[in-house]
Amino acid sequence: MKAKKKKSEPYQAKNILYRNEEINPFYMSRYSLNPYRGCLVGCRYCYVQEKKHIDSTGLEEEKDRQVQIKINAPYLLKRRLESGLEMGLIALGESCEPYGENENEYFITRRLLEILQDYAFPLHIVTKSERVLRDIELFKKINSKSFVCVTISIPVVSGGLVKKLEGDSPPVKTRLKTVKKLRHHGISAGVAVSPVFPYLTDGRETEKILRRVSASGAAYALFAPLSIKNYQREMFFSWLKEKFPRLPDSYQRLYGEGEEPSCEYWEKFMLKTKRKALELNLNIELPFEDEFGHLPSQEYLKLQ
């Protein structure tokens, strides 16, 4: 197969901070902040690089990986904060890789963190990259005023699956080491086992992940099922048919016409996973208190 080209370009964003109607239960966040748009990593399951997601930019037909750099993001964030913003946890990197290769050149994530540090907003950072270690000293400063936790995304650990699903993601070993280093420096860190792929990663693979995550010293492991958005459906099923020909029918039964697997399936999975996680001393929710004693601000707690 022809290798995907990578394309990056500066972009003037209209808005940078989005307020969720409800607290996002996975990130526990009130706000969503994404320094980049799109991603160059190319994980097979990820919706951020879907052409329909990257709309009205003139790049809809472009099939290669692309990222847009929100060069005015620090200005927009500062303006929003100066206008007086209700306190709440900010999820940074929910729909992009905040420490992708462009961060080495543009430092957008870094500049946003510096601004957020001044305003003492609590933060939940989600990334796959060890570049996050660059900001450890800044995280310590944020922790002196509010709270930051870093979640490293590791949905699979077995070589064959990593190859099929994770594009150019950093090696699993590196990601686990990143968790370890963050914890070593007193930063609250854990892992997002997301998405969980029914019939592919919901059995032995999950147990394997939990064991390795626990060995890394992670404070928590968060789980979310694979969600198949409408516009991804056709593409996802044809990929599944090609790579795992026995699975499309089972997925069809489990998902029906919806985006998520049945509640019954997910509750059963979580019950089993919770038992295993407890044995390994892992939280399966974001702990707002850990042995480092960092807490979100009182204002944030009142919002919950």
Instruction: Report the C-alpha gap between 71 and 221 in whole angstroms.
Output: 33
What are 197's two structure tokens?
């792929």
From the list 54, 92, 96, 172, which residue makes contact with ligand SF4 (rule: CB under 6 A)?
Answer: 96
Residues that bind ligand SF4 (rule: CB under 6 A) add up to a total of: 11
For ligand SF4, give the closer residue by CB, 80 or 175: 175
Instruction: Report the C-alpha gap between 92 and 52 in whole angstroms.
Output: 22
What are 155's two structure tokens?
């949905």
Q: In the complex, what is the shortest distance from the CB of residue 299 to ligand SF4, in angstroms, rounded to a whole number?
A: 30
CA 286 to centroid of chain Cα atoms: 13
From the list 28, 41, 182, 228, which residue makes contact with ligand SF4 (rule: CB under 6 A)?
Answer: 41
For ligand SF4, give the closer residue by CB, 48 or 157: 48
For the purposes of burial, counting CB atoms within 10 Å of the CB of 279, is it exposed (0-12), middle (13-18) or buried (19 or more)?
Answer: exposed
Place of tokens 């979100």: 296
Q: In the complex, what is the shortest distance from the CB of residue 249 to ligand SF4, in angstroms, rounded to a whole number?
A: 26
DSSP string, 68-89: EEETTHHHHHHHHHHT------
For ligand SF4, give the closer residue by CB, 40 or 240: 40
For ligand SF4, give the closer residue by CB, 143 or 232: 232
Q: Is 108 in the site for ligand SF4 (CB under 6 A)?
A: no
Instruction: Report the C-alpha gap between 294 and 298 in whole angstroms.
Output: 12
Q: In the complex, what is the shortest distance from the CB of residue 40 to ligand SF4, in angstroms, rounded to a whole number?
A: 7
Q: Is 39 in the site for ligand SF4 (CB under 6 A)?
A: yes
Q: In the complex, what is the shortest distance from the CB of residue 39 to ligand SF4, in angstroms, rounded to a whole number?
A: 3
For ligand SF4, give the closer residue by CB, 128 or 294: 128
Cβ burial 30-54 (10 Å sphere, 16+ → b, else e): bbbbbbbbbbbbebebbebbeeebb
DSSP state of 286: -
Q: In the complex, what is the shortest distance from the CB of residue 168 to ligand SF4, in angstroms, rounded to a whole number?
A: 8
Q: Is 192 in the site for ligand SF4 (CB under 6 A)?
A: no
For ligand SF4, give the closer residue by CB, 1 or 263: 1
**Chain contacts with ligand SF4 (rule: CB under 6 A):** 39, 41-43, 46, 48-49, 96-97, 128, 169
